[in-house]
A and B are shown apart, each in its own frame.
Chain A
Amino acid sequence: MRQRINAVVIGASWGGLDAYSRVLGKLPANLPVPVLVVQHQHPSGGDKLPWILDTRTAMRVVAPMEKEPIEAGSVYVAPPGYHMLVDVDHTVCYSLAAPVNYSRPSIDELFFSAGHVYGPGLLGVILTGANDDGAAGITYIKQRGGITMAQSPVTAEARTMPEAAIATGCIDQIHDLDDIGDVISELVFGLGA
């Protein structure tokens, strides 16, 4: 039986801007699920990422306010300095709780909260990065019955993050960077294996 996907969460760190451009660039404007992304950034670096990503994808890119409803066809980008969570009523929730894995936003925090809300309907993806944020979160997504994916480390600008995710034993699929966007589409539209 094919697994129905209701939301996609993606995490990246070092090399993430290029990776996100290439993954989100393959996603169509009518993707019938929301995509939530965490990219590690310096808190004083400004909040330009949503505007940059908006030029790279057909999807609507949002710099969400807190309590913003999470809707299909949109990409929600975590702002620097805040953890971005999914609340039980499918709205964006922010927290200034301590950095996790030295990061705020933290990939784990997004993945734990989304895993709670979406359960088996969640697809979690770990891209390039030079630390192991997201490994605990991807484990939880797997425990909740969701689908898990990592970028193949050889195609990653920094391989530590996908390697840490794969080392958990909880990754269902490993793909090269340039295939990930299409694979996400196929899974979401119910065409994937």
Chain B
Amino acid sequence: MKTPESVTDEQVSIEDIEIRLLLEAIYQLYGYDFRCYSKASLRRRVLHRLGMSGMSSIMAMTDRVLRDQQFFVTLLNDLTVNVTEMFRDPEFYRAFREEVIPVLKTFPFIKIWHAGCATGEEIYSMAIMLEEEGLYDRAMLYATDIDKNVLAAAKKGIYSYAAVKQYSENYRRAGGKTSLADYYTAKYDGVIMDQRLKRNIVFADHDLATDQVFGEMNVIVCRNVLIYFDRDLQQRVFRLFRDSLDMGGYLCLGTKESLRFSACEEHFEPVVADMRIFRKRQLMKRETR
């Protein structure tokens, strides 16, 4: 059997340079900034698309990105990893319902920001939970994402029937009060979410890497988005969240995401530690950096 050709450190660093040039090209032409994304997963996704596309090199892919907008849209979808579910991690929603909702009920008005909402499954989950808790009409929900194409899908709220069957199980485990079927209508081979769930949702494009504070939120939900960012960009985003939250406001992260390796840990205290629900705390003057 023939041994495959070796891949030397030099070849690997050339690939790394090619990836940097690709990201630079994307930034300069399309304005999406992936330059501070986590190198390992970015690299895997670029090489995955390269393999699928049959192109000979990352340079060839860069050339295509610069001239073929449709191809860029495909690549953008790879790079942003729009994987989500309704009531993803049901235990998180249960904890939110039990620990956060009672506090929100004491507020006259609540503002919730879902940063990186992808195709919208989690914002509809939040909307359903707020409806069931009698809070929806006091709430304004902001659903943002970097990718306008997925935002358009989020706005539509149409999901596949097979996916929704699994979401029903999540909903039940998350402490749902009725049946998920009460919130959608079957249509063709999919379902469409009850359009009334959207009456207080604002969909907007927002890039956590480049855009600014999104004011005075009571809750920020940003789950499984930060895993794609490098440490510096995470730092920027944690500061952005800190500055966008009201004092005592809640920050909800993905189950594998942590403030532990950031310099922002002191600005937050855990509310439900294992479900990654934190609260912005008042720092004493001498603690302030």
Please report A residues at the B interface, Cβ cutoff 8 Å.
64-69, 79, 82-83, 85-89, 91, 93-98, 109, 112-113, 116-117, 119, 139-140, 142-145, 169-170
Contacts of B228 in A (CB 8 A): 95
Closest to B83 in A: A96
The answer to whether A142 touches B38 (Cβ under 8 A) is no
Q: Which of B1-34 contact A (CB under 8 A)?
A: 1-9, 12
- Measured CB to CB, the closest approach of chain B to A101, in angstroms, equals 13
Q: CA–CA, A140 to B51, complex, Å?
A: 14
Answer whether A68 and B261 are a contact pair too, CB < 8 Å, given A116-B12, A169-B3: yes
Interface string of B228-246 (1 = CB under 8 A from A): 1001001000000000000
Q: Cβ of B74 < 8 Å from any Cβ of A? A: no
Bound-complex Cα distance A135 to B40 (A): 20
- In the complex, the answer to whether A96 meets B81 with C-beta atoms within 8 Å is yes
* A109 and B258 contact, CB distance less than 8 A: no
Distance from A6 Cβ to chain B, minimum over Cβ atoms (Å): 13
The yes or no answer to B206 lying at the interface (CB within 8 A) is no
Chain B nearest CB from A66 CB (Å) reads 5
The answer to whether A93 and B4 touch across the interface, beta carbons within 8 angstroms, is: no
Closest chain A CB from B257 CB (angstroms): 6
Given contacts A93-B227, A113-B44, A143-B7, contact A65 B258 (CB under 8 A): yes
Instruction: Tell me if B44 and A112 are in contact (CB < 8 A).
Output: yes
The 4 lowest CB-CB distance pairs between A and B, nearest first, are A169-B1, A65-B258, A95-B41, A96-B83
CB distance from B38 to the nearest CB of A (A): 5
Report whether B40 and A67 are in contact in the complex, using a CB–CB cutoff of 8 Å.
no
Residues of B within 8 A of A91 (CB): 261
Number of interface residues of B (CB under 8 A): 33
A79 to B89, CA, bound (A): 13
Determine which residue in B5, B39, B47, B256 has the highest number of CB atoms from chain A within 10 A of its CB, and name it: B256
Min CB distance A102 to B, Å, is 15
Q: How far does the alpha carbon of A68 sit from the alpha carbon of B262 in the complex, in Å? A: 11
CB contacts (< 8 Å) of B41 on chain A: these are 83, 85, 93-95, 97
User: Is the Cβ of B4 less than 8 Å from the Cβ of A139?
Assistant: yes
Residues of A within 8 A of B226 (CB): 66
Q: Give the distance in Å from the alpha carbon of A85 to the alpha carbon of B42 in the complex.
A: 11
Most buried by B among A93, A144, A170: A93
Closest beta carbon of chain B to A18's beta carbon, Å:
26
Q: Is the CB of B40 within 8 A of A65?
A: no
Give the residues in chain A near B9, CB-CB below 8 Å: 119
